Amino acid sequence: MQKIKILYDKTANSLVVWFDSADKEFIAQEVEDDTILMKDKKGKVIGLEKLNYISSKEPQPKSLPVEVVTTS
């Protein structure tokens, strides 16, 4: 199983999650406001980007509001 990569760009205020290698990205598709899916040549979703991840009305947190949950 490949590791999931989570990147937060503080300047752009975006959160990017890669399920596969970013090198495989072929097309990016905006699916709703501030959400972009990255796909490979076969149309498989290999990542997503959430724009405006932290509201400008909130103070900048010292850590990201991300929770990792595993299920059996």
Q: What is the domain partition of the chain in residue ranges?
A: 1-72
Dihedral sign, Cα of residue 4, residue 23, residue 52, residue 64: positive
Indicate if the pLDDT at residue 35 is higher than 90.
yes
pTM for the full model?
A: 0.80
Residues with Cβ < 8 Å from 51, sequence gap 6 or more? 12, 13, 14, 34, 35, 36
- For the segment 27-40, the average pLDDT, to the nearest whole number, is 96
Residues with Cβ < 8 Å from 25, sequence gap 6 or more? 38, 39, 40, 46, 47
Note whether 47 and 37 are within 8 A (CB). Answer: yes
